[in-house]
Each structure stands twice: as structure tokens, then as C-alpha cells.
Amino acid sequence: MQKTALIAGASGLIGSQLLPLLLASDRYAKVIAVGRRPLPIVHPKLEQRLLDFDHLEEHRFALIADDVYCCLGTTMRQAGSKKAFYTVDYLYVVKLAALTAGNFAAQLLVVSAMGADEKSRVYYNRVKGEMEQAVRQTPFRAVHLFRPSLLLGERSEQRTGERLGAVLLRVLRPVLRGPLRRYRAIDAAAVARAMLRAAEQNGTGIQVHPSDAIEALGRAAG
């Protein structure tokens, strides 16, 4: 029986690559995209639901799906403060997970980050780690945590530091082998393919996908 997918963050770097894959997949009869603003796409499978993540609990019954894909995320620079960053990368993600798990969704597939660690001294990594710890406690049949390295792809906004980092990692790619392979920059499209492939495997339990494993899973899906 075909399923329903829910995606949050469909306008972002990974989400914008993932949404077309979900719509094209025979796995899903319906794809629900939740966000603050409408997406410039029309598709017979697609249902867009505009909502305020600050009051997500008010929309609980609009969040019914089998597989939940969470691609929410920002940066300290975009957010403007630690509090605003925490709101998006922790509170919104954890709230979405709790509500959809309460609606008996089977799988959560969430984009985290390489270096996620609730004990990290780096604020970004610590928040990602705290988010992971929180969603691990939700009663999904499977929780998939994707930890990509530096992401490659066309962004709507310019990030000079990330662009320079991507150039450097492309140059270093041939020498990043073995244990260092996970530090290779990775295409957002590969992450998107890996997320769908992971859902299709219908696994169970907590599954952590480091960047090199994401790349391999993305190739297998391609």
C-alpha cells in the first residue's frame, strides 16, 4: 500500500533536492510539505500546508504521515543569535518529531551534522547533539540521523566561508581516504537520495548515517 510522506524544510538545500524525489517515488501516494511560505511547485501528489512552527501543536492533525523527513536547519549567521538558532535547529525539530510520533508515524529521517555531540564545546555541534538525543527518545519504529560533511549545491543565499571550504575540500578529496573519507564534501542531492533510500529499506531502531555512508547510500539509490 502506498504511503504518505511529510517533509519540513523543502525550500532548503537538501529539502529542495528531496521533494522531487518523494513526488516521483512509487512509495508515496501523497507528499505533505509543511512550511511558512508556499513552494513554487504544483503536483498532483503534493499538499502544501502553511503553518507557524512556533505554534506547531495547533496543527497536530495536519501532520499525519508514515515517513517524516526533517530538513530544517539554519546557521548562527542566518539566525542572528544563539536563541534563534536553538529555536530552529532544536525546538522545531524536536517538536515536529514528538507530534508526528504521537500521530503514529513509522519513520523519522532527520538531517543533523557531522560532529553532532551534546557534550561538544562548539555550540552548533552541541545543539545538533542535543537534538539527536531528544529525537532518539521518540517512539518511531525507526529514527535515521544523517550527519553530512560540508554540503555542496546551489543555495539561495551566499555563504562565503562554506564556498571557500567546498573548494578546499574538492582539492583535498583524493587524499581523504579511509577514516578521513567522511570529511569529504558531499552533494546535497546525494543526501536527499540517501534519505529516500533509507526510508525504502523499512528498517528499525536508531540508525546513524555518517557522511561517507550517506555518500555510499546515495550512490546506491542513484
Domain residue limits, the chain: 3-221
Residues 179-200 have a mean pLDDT of 85
How is domain 3-221 classified at the architecture level of CATH?
3-Layer(aba) Sandwich (3.40)
Higher pLDDT, 48 or 163: 48
Note the pTM of the prediction, 2 decimals.
Answer: 0.89
Q: Is the pLDDT reported for residue 120 higher than 60?
A: yes
Does the pLDDT value for residue 30 go beyond 60?
Answer: yes
CB 146 within 8 A of CB 128: no
Task: Report the C-alpha gap between 68 and 110 in whole angstroms.
Answer: 8
Averaged pLDDT of the chain: 89
Q: Mutual orientation of helices 211-221 and 188-200 as an angle, nearest 10°?
A: 70
Instruction: Tell me the per-residue pLDDT of 52-111, one tens digit each, with 9 for 90 and over.
Output: 999 999 999 999 999 999 999 998 888 899 999 999 999 999 999 999 999 999 999 999
Counting residues of the chain whose pLDDT is more than 70, the rounded percentage is: 86
Cell of 189: 542531492
Side chain identity at residue 72, one-letter code: L
Which are the contacts of 50, defined by CB distance < 8 A and separation ≥ 6?
34, 35, 36, 37, 38
Cα separation, 147 vs 145, in Å, equals 6
